[in-house]
A and B are shown apart, each in its own frame.
Chain A
Amino acid sequence: MNRRCTLAILVNDQPGVLQRVAGLFGRRGFNISSITVGASEEPGLSRMVIETEGDKRTLEQIQKQLNKLIDVIKVVEVSAQPMVSRELGLIKVNAEPSVRPEIFGLVDTFRASVVDVSPHSLIIQVVGTSEKVDAMIELLKPYGIRELTRTGVTAMVRG
């Protein structure tokens, strides 16, 4: 039975390290639903957060194979513990003056924000779990989404 899994991978900040990790997933047929990379608390090390899914054996293989990479320092299955996971979405939505009050209402409800205002559109920034970003997008669809971009999930164990 497949389940979703969020991994935080501490890696050397080296050229090619993203290629090593992504290549491993590709070559062994592992799935990547989302991937984010950025600095970690330690200089010289980056942290990747990968969302993946698979059965028990696949998820175990993913972690074991990642650990074999010399540039991988540590793999933590964040989703095995209580975690905070966040994603940021930018949504450019059609917004003639007549519908703006409605849209602002949605933005307020989601504690999202309007980060750009143009004569015919707005850019809305929403931060939250992937499900929250999904929900925001669904609600904005009727107005006409012109452009959409999402960062992918980053996550951390609580406490």
Chain B
Amino acid sequence: MIRFDQVTKLYKGNTRPALNAVSLEILKGEFVFLVGASGSGKSSFLRLVLKEEKPSKGEVHVLGQRLNTIASRKVPYFRRSLGVVFQDFRLLPNKTVFDNVAFTLQVIGKSKGFIQEAVPDVLKMVGLAGKASRFPHELSGGEQQRVAIARAIVNRPAILLADEPTGNLDPSTSAGIMTLLQRINANGTTVLMATHDAGIVDQMQRRVIELVSGQVVRDERGGGYQTQAVPVQQPFGLAAEEGSAR
């Protein structure tokens, strides 16, 4: 699904790389947490997957495509198979919930009939069935994030990227969002979520990738949120043992 091969990302005017020789692979149907302090490279990682940035070195493969060589003309079509959710929701304030979700389908040229069918379905799935004609400012933060999630998955993407989706929400609302993401994952969508929320990571017990200063310091299945940096990257098996021992 997603494979990073010795990927280094160096931003202009910055001597320290945002990502430093990162190699990892995320498989179909996985639910992966990306944790680490601010500036550790989580957002750069997501931007590389989205092809919003080019790696300075190394190769990124997503959905069987080598992103280094994909023509910029074809990037929009590649992005149609990805869904993205942000901390700040990024909804259009002058459109209703329905239109916000429908906008995604309109701009990629889906038919009116398809939109009329798909949007109510996805709104029902995220639990906003009765609120299709509301405007974003009439909704709570949790509901707004549900709209954003609905928008991200309405086109049935293979991968859902979430950049701190619960960052602006209180714990109980966050739990609701996590249940939703879990359900989306159970339907076969690979979910990659960058987060600071220790409680959520500890509770979910899914694969955790920890970044420190642009390097993967931990990659364990069924891990928790653990911020103390391990100085040397552990081999995968050892890290997993450590995780389960805890």
Q: Do A and B come from one complex?
A: no
Spell out A's residues near B (CB within 8 Å). Answer: none
Spell out B's residues near A (CB within 8 Å). Answer: none
